[in-house]
Amino acid sequence: MRDNKPLWVPSQGSIEASPMYAFMQACNRDHRLAMTSYPDLHAWSVSEREAFWTSVWDFCEVKGERGPRTLVNGDVMLAARFFPDATLNFAENLLSRQGGDDAIIFRGEDKVSDRWSWDRLRDLVSRLQQALRERGIGPGDRIAAMTPNIPETVAFMLATASIGAIWSSCSPDFGEQGVLDRFGQIGPKLFVACDAYWYGGKLQDVGPKVASVMKRLGCPAVVVHYAGNASAVAGDVPGAATLDDFIAPFSARPLEFTRLPFSHPLYILFSSGTTGVPKCIVHSAGGTLLQHLKEHRLHCGLQAGDRLFYFTTCGWMMWNWLVSGLAAGVTICLYDGSPFAPDGNVLFDYAQDEKFTAFGTSAKYIDAVRKSGLTPRTSHDLSSLRLMTSTGSPLSPEGFTFVYEGIKQDVQLASISGGTDIVSCFVLGNPMQPVWRGEIQGPGLGLAMDVWDDEGKSVRQEKGELVCTKAFPAMPIMFWNDPEGAKYRAAYFERFDNVWCHGDFAEWTEHGGIVIHGRSDATLNPGGVRIGTAEIYNQVEQMEEVAEALCIGQDWEDDVRVVLFLRLAAGVTLTDDLMKAVKTRIRTGASPRHVPAKIIAVADIPRTKSGKIVELAVREVVHGRPVKNKEALANPEALDLYKGLAELRV
């Protein structure tokens, strides 16, 4: 049963003070409309895409030449082109301010902290863009980085974008083959790496890995000093230089920005790659900029001087999303390291000290804080915090409750969902509507999002496929090394003709919100009934005895049975009584159909570098099939724990 009271309701004053409201009023004025609510605004943004996206460009004051046309071939998803006459530069829009105010605040696990003014950031970008041009790097060339989430990484990306080159990054915890599986496909003209990093209270030396990757990529390299000896790492490979040596010949001077077409490539991001070599997803400068400006300025309500934080690494698209906050004039707050070193207060200390406006993290982190017994609401001053966002996996109803009871009562909690595929969100928050327990507030502006059944019919308050029925600017422009577009079409358009099928199992709510029930390719089908894995996790992961869960469907006697793997809390064993309690919790909290046929305790659960559990990889192991790309996993050894486990009969 749904809750009959929202967890948070915006005041009329806060609604009218929001950029979203100001945008709606501007659209009313410019287009002679009479919109009064978010549903009104969303419906107009989908039905009148040309007027809407033009209004976003103007309201967010995009730097560039817009051109006369907004959309051509708009009815054909793969042929649609937004702003085909426009020219702009992504970095020019992000380096939106000058002066001594903070552009970047950095804090590392090793207690290192730093502040970068807008002028300091611009000076390094200037020196880097001169050095890149001196090396012959220009529009369309690729620069690949294996670096921590530090200010120098942001500056390198901005310098890359400023000259029209393409940026691609991963975090330094990737294994050597995982790095090569990604960057080896895109032929970088320069490789950027760090000398070492901290995680979990330990200094992680990456020197030998960096040297090996440099040699195998066969391109020049720059080593950024962070926690090791950059000179020693660079000295191991011919053609490598430290960052200091790379920029030494150049002094800061006025920045130069190469304005290029709206659809010019900006980023290459990678799929998780747990079922094969990662797909190389290419995103445009214009589409990424416009979508992120819309999400930051309107959906998050951010304004110049606000402070935006997201806990992320450079291998997750949320890093790209976070950095775009500069285009809204906000200060971006970076953190590198473990969020639990030395304990779970680390990020809340940071939020208190730097007065975060928006705090972004993962659903798993929120659950871990809840289970740790911490109550930041009473231990920290979070009075500046106006917005908290959660993504990476569905946030459970209990997670929603904990945010309001344990973190802050008066905060907009925006569970958001989208992905690497669109480097942004399909569904997210907005400051004009209430927050209901367990629900994402609604679809993003300009996105014709819906939930369809297997026959391609829209369904309300029933589970189905999350789809988008009209083209939008943040669609990838292509996959790298996919000249005929076959991989691109197969990824999103095979299920429904001319409709983007995202691969999420979703449901509309009675409030117009969305619930994500997990990935549709991991959906369980016992007895032919579709069950989302998140529905099971929402029950068992609230039990104190359970640290984490992973659920798969196993082929069994001409049907599918549900197998639940549990990583138990310290000191807990899987007794008959605990199994009974787990099944009772699932039966009463979800339904009898959700109850697993088998429950198995495991020591670890495999996950990607960005922290997502890998149900499909475990399913392959259980069925005796090979996992094609273990390098995509943060803990690939965990897969060995599942060999043969589900073969035992109930």
If you write DSSP's letter for every residue of 218-241 in order, what string do you get?
TS-EEEE-SSS-HHHHHHTSTTEE
- In the sheet where 412-415 sits, what is the strand order? 113-117, 102-108, 331-336, 307-310, 358-362, 387-391, 412-415
How many other β-carbons are positioned within 10 Å of the β-carbon of residue 425?
25
Q: What is the pLDDT of residue 103?
A: 98
Q: What is the pLDDT of residue 650?
A: 39
Q: Stretch 33-38: mean pLDDT, rounded?
A: 98
The larger pLDDT score, comparing residue 364 to residue 327, is at 327
Angle at CA of residue 420, ends 347 and 460, nearest 5°: 95
CA distance readout (Å), 194 to 19, 214, 310, 317: 39, 12, 21, 20
Q: Stretch 287-293: mean pLDDT, rounded?
A: 98
Q: Is the peptide bond before 342 cis (omega within 30 degrees of 0)?
A: yes
Q: What is the pLDDT of residue 594?
A: 86
Q: Determine the Cα–Cα distance for residues 627 and 352; give it in Å rounded to an integer.
A: 43
Q: Determine the Cα–Cα distance for residues 266 and 630; give it in Å rounded to an integer.
A: 28
Contact call for residues 264 and 284 (beta carbons, < 8 A): yes
How many other β-carbons are positioned within 10 Å of the β-carbon of residue 592?
9
pLDDT interval class at 482 (50, 70, 90)? very high
Q: Stretch 255-281: mean pLDDT, rounded?
A: 89
Contact call for residues 85 and 67 (beta carbons, < 8 A): yes
The larger pLDDT score, comparing residue 174 to residue 185, is at 185
Q: What is the pLDDT of residue 1?
A: 42
% of the chain residues with pLDDT over 70: 97
Half-sphere exposure of 628 (CA within 13 A, CB side): 9
Q: Spell out the domains of the chain, with CATH numbers in brackets.
A: 1-78+416-473+484-520 (2.30.38.10), 111-261 (3.40.50.980), 523-647 (3.30.300.30)
pLDDT interval class at 3 (50, 70, 90)? low
pLDDT in tens, 589-614: 887 878 999 999 999 999 887 778 88
Q: Determine the Cα–Cα distance for residues 615 and 434; give it in Å rounded to an integer.
A: 33
Contact call for residues 382 and 408 (beta carbons, < 8 A): yes
Q: What is the pLDDT of residue 4?
A: 79
pLDDT over 70 (residue 281):
yes
pLDDT over 80 (residue 204):
yes
- In the sheet where 240-242 sits, what is the strand order? 240-242, 221-224, 190-194, 142-146, 166-170, 265-270, 280-284, 478-479
Q: What is the pLDDT of residue 649?
A: 42
The larger pLDDT score, comparing residue 49 to residue 638, is at 49
If you write DSSP's letter for every residue of 104-173 in order, what string do you get?
EEEEETTS-EEEEEHHHHHHHHHHHHHHHHHTT--TT-EEEEE--SSHHHHHHHHHHHHTT-EEEEE-TT
Q: Stretch 466-477: mean pLDDT, rounded?
A: 98
pLDDT over 80 (residue 558):
no
Q: Determine the Cα–Cα distance for residues 315 and 485; give it in Å rounded to an integer.
A: 25
pLDDT over 70 (residue 275):
no
pLDDT over 60 (residue 646):
no
pTM of this prediction exceeds 0.75:
yes
Q: What is the pLDDT of residue 570?
A: 92
Q: Determine the Cα–Cα distance for residues 578 and 581; give it in Å rounded to an integer.
A: 5
**Which strand (E) or helix (H) includes residue 178?**
helix 176-183
Q: Determine the Cα–Cα distance for residues 306 and 628; give it in Å rounded to an integer.
A: 43
Of 97-101, 365-369, 540-544, 626-630, highest mean pLDDT: 97-101
Tokens matching residue 605:
């659960």
Q: Which of 49, 38, 648, 613 is nearest to 364 (CA)?
A: 613
Chain-wide mean pLDDT for the chain? Answer: 93
Q: Determine the Cα–Cα distance for residues 263 and 85; give it in Å rounded to an integer.
A: 10
Q: What is the pLDDT of residue 648?
A: 52
pLDDT interval class at 2 (50, 70, 90)? low
Q: Determine the Cα–Cα distance for residues 591 and 170; give it in Å rounded to an integer.
A: 40
Q: Determine the Cα–Cα distance for residues 607 and 393; give it in Å rounded to an integer.
A: 12
Tokens matching residue 437:
């327990």
**Which strand (E) or helix (H) includes residue 586?**
helix 576-589
% of the chain residues with pLDDT over 90: 80
What own/partner pairs with CB < 8 Å and gap ≥ 24 does 584-590 have? 585/539, 585/540, 585/542, 585/543, 586/536, 586/539, 586/540, 589/538, 589/539, 590/535, 590/536, 590/538, 590/539
pLDDT over 90 (residue 237):
no
Q: What is the pLDDT of residue 202?
A: 93
Q: Stretch 421-438: mean pLDDT, rounded?
A: 97
Q: Determine the Cα–Cα distance for residues 154 and 235; give it in Å rounded to an integer.
A: 24
